[in-house]
């Protein structure tokens, strides 16, 4: 994409779960795609919810975006896999960093994580391993750093380490000029690993399920963002709030209206519909755009990616 970039060694060929060659389909052309002191506090936030907007990406490097919500099962991993893939299919160079011990990004991108040696844990403990931790995936242009269960316990181990909130930031720095976007998936918690992701990021995308407690969850996250901005990363901002698993029920519509009212500028439309194809794609080791591109989920993620592509300043 950028001739001025120096050459990175090839990403490792990770063993793929599926041994199939994927080619770009016509939909691509047609698609418009501190001990307790430093540990971030997570007490309830009262008062108006403040989700600061993000800034443009500095010139000469890719944007770093964390997909985050401390609630589990809201579509973070699904969003990372499918946004990364759709942008890869559009020709952008994407790096996915899986910071969740469940390691589901690998499965969804066709990478057999049991055969991968260097993971996100190594990256956080030894930032200099970054270049060799990258693996190719089932999707062209999408590389990834695999998360796995070795991330469990890392929070405890890091308690005594100096500069522990900046490890991921340092690790990713040499990679930034080589990618258009680095997308970080996070665990359902606001611990030190998630804080590392926020410190490394220009922006965050928050998937929210259009159910009860969506706004309460955002209030909690808003408090964390505020603290990270004050203490660690003053330019962190929100790139978008994305509604997921949206169904045509009265409750879902009510919550969607409340969100649109609360964050008129931050919402990413359309809401992602609840769609079984999105849930089954990972079992095939491929993202929705290689599994069922014309399913409701495939269409919604394609439309959402077109919005994010503009918001992230990727469109050339
Ligand atoms: N729009 C959707 N429609 C139906 N199922 C979905 C959708 N988005 C995600 N899922 C499924 O819901 C579950 C939780 O999603 P996931 O992306 O893993 O959430 P998180 O990473 O926030 O825990 C997974 O089984 C996933 O396949
Ligand atoms: Mg997840």
Write out pLDDT tens, residues 283-310: 999 999 999 999 999 999 999 999 999 9
Structure tokens at 153: 């316990």
What Å distances lie between residue 50 and 123, 229, 238, 263, 314, CA to CA? 32, 12, 10, 10, 26
pLDDT digits over 127-176, tens only? Answer: 999 999 999 999 999 999 999 999 999 988 898 888 999 999 999 999 99
Structure tokens at 141: 């242009």
Q: How far apart are CA 57 and CA 234, in angstroms?
A: 14
Does the residue 31 lie in any domain?
Answer: no
Non-local CB neighbours of 309 within 8 Å, separated by 6+ positions: 33, 87, 90, 315
pLDDT at 316: 66
The beta-carbon contacts of 210-213 under 8 Å, at least 24 apart in sequence, are 210/243, 210/244, 210/245, 210/246, 210/247, 210/251, 210/252, 210/253, 210/255, 210/256, 210/259, 210/271, 211/251, 211/252, 211/255, 212/251, 212/255, 213/71
| pLDDT above 80: residue 1 | no
Does the residue 7 lie in any domain?
Answer: no
User: For the chain, what percent of residues have pLDDT higher than 70?
Assistant: 87
Q: Are strands 142-145 and 94-98 parallel, antiparallel or unpaired?
A: parallel
Does the residue 30 lie in any domain?
Answer: no
When divided into structural domains, the chain yields a total of 1
For range 270-276, the mean pLDDT: 98
**Ligand 1 atom closest to Cα of 245?**
1
Ligand nearest to the CA of 244: 1
Give residues (CB < 6 A) around ligand 1: 72-78, 104, 188, 244-245, 272, 274-275, 278-279, 297
Distance between Cα 79 and ligand 1 center (Å):
8
- Give the number of residues written for the chain: 316
Does the residue 258 lie in any domain?
Answer: yes
For range 222-229, the mean pLDDT: 94
Which one, of 235, 209, 194, lies nearest residue 66 by Cα? 194
Q: Which of 75, 272, 284 maximizes ligand 1 atoms within 8 Å of its Cβ, making it the mutation to test the pocket?
A: 75
Q: How far apart are CA 282 and CA 106, in angstroms?
A: 9
pLDDT at 40: 37
Distance between Cα 75 and ligand 1 center (Å):
4
Taking all residues of the chain, what is their mean pLDDT, rounded to a whole number? 88
Give the CATH number for residue 85: 3.40.50.300
Question: Between the CA atoms of 139, 199, 51 and 93, what dihedral angle is there, to the nearest 10 degrees?
Answer: -20
Q: How far apart are CA 292 and CA 43, in angstroms?
A: 41
pLDDT digits over 89-131, tens only? Answer: 999 999 999 999 999 999 999 999 999 999 999 999 999 999 9
What Å distances lie between residue 151 and 67, 100, 191, CA to CA? 17, 7, 12
| pLDDT above 50: residue 271 | yes
Nearest CA to ligand 1 atom 24: 279
Distance between Cα 100 and ligand 2 center (Å):
7
Q: How far apart are CA 136 and CA 112, in angstroms?
A: 11
pLDDT at 3: 54
Does the residue 316 lie in any domain?
Answer: no
**Ligand 1 atom closest to Cα of 275?**
3
pLDDT at 17: 61
pLDDT at 9: 86
Ligand nearest to the CA of 103: 2
Residue given tokens 């720095």 in the structure block? 173
pLDDT digits over 241-258, tens only? Answer: 999 999 999 999 999 999
Q: What is the CA radius of gyration of the chain?
A: 18
Does the residue 79 lie in any domain?
Answer: yes
Indicate the pLDDT class of residue 7, thresholds 50, 70 and 90.
Answer: confident
Bigger pLDDT: 29 or 230? 230
Burial 250-272 (b: 16+ CB within 10 A, else e): eebeebbeebeebbeebbbeebb
Q: What is the DSSP string of 159-171?
A: TT-TTGGGHHHHH
| Residue span of the structural domain in which 219 resides | 54-311
Indicate the pLDDT class of residue 4, thresholds 50, 70 and 90.
Answer: low
Does the residue 150 lie in any domain?
Answer: yes
Bigger pLDDT: 4 or 269? 269
Nearest CA to ligand 1 atom 15: 75
| pLDDT above 50: residue 29 | no
Ligand nearest to the CA of 304: 1
- Of all helices (H) and strands (E), which one includes residue 144? strand 142-145
Distance between Cα 6 and ligand 2 center (Å):
33
Q: How many CB atoms lie within 10 A of CB 316?
A: 8
Nearest CA to ligand 1 atom 8: 75
Distance between Cα 76 and ligand 2 center (Å):
5
Q: How far apart are CA 95 and CA 11, in angstroms?
A: 10
Does the residue 167 lie in any domain?
Answer: yes
| pLDDT above 60: residue 42 | no
**Ligand 1 atom closest to Cα of 72?**
23
């Amino acid at each position: 994409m950028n001739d001025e970039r120096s050459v990175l060694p090839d990403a490792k060929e990770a063993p793929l779960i599926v041994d199939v060659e994927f080619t770009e389909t016509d939909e691509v052309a047609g698609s418009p795609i501190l001990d307790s002191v430093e540990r971030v506090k997570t007490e309830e936030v009262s008062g108006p919810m403040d989700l600061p907007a993000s800034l443009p990406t500095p010139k000469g490097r890719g944007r770093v975006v964390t997909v985050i919500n401390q609630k589990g099962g809201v579509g973070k991993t699904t969003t990372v896999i499918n946004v990364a893939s759709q942008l890869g299919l559009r020709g952008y160079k994407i790096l996915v960093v899986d910071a969740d011990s469940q390691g589901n990004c690998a499965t969804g991108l066709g990478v057999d994580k049991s055969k991968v040696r260097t993971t996100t844990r190594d990256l956080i403990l030894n930032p200099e391993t970054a270049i060799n931790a990258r693996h190719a995936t089932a999707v062209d242009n999408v590389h990834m750093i695999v998360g796995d269960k070795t991330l469990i316990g890392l929070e405890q181990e890091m308690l005594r380490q100096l500069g522990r909130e900046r490890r991921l930031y340092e690790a990713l720095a040499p990679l930034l000029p080589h990618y258009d976007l680095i997308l970080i998936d996070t665990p359902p918690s606001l611990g030190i690993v998630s804080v590392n992701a926020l410190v490394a990021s220009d922006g965050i995308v928050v998937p929210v399920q259009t159910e009860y407690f969506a706004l309460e969850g955002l209030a909690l996250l808003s408090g964390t963002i505020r603290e990270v901005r004050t203490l660690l990363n003053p330019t962190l901002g929100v790139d978008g709030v994305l509604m997921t698993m949206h169904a045509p029920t009265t409750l879902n519509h009510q919550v969607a209206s409340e969100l649109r009212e609360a964050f008129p500028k931050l919402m990413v439309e359309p809401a992602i519909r609840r769609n079984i194809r999105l849930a089954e794609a990972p079992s095939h080791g491929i993202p929705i755009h290689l599994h069922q591109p014309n399913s409701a989920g495939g269409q919604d993620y394609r439309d959402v990616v077109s919005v994010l592509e503009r918001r992230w300043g990727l469109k050339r």
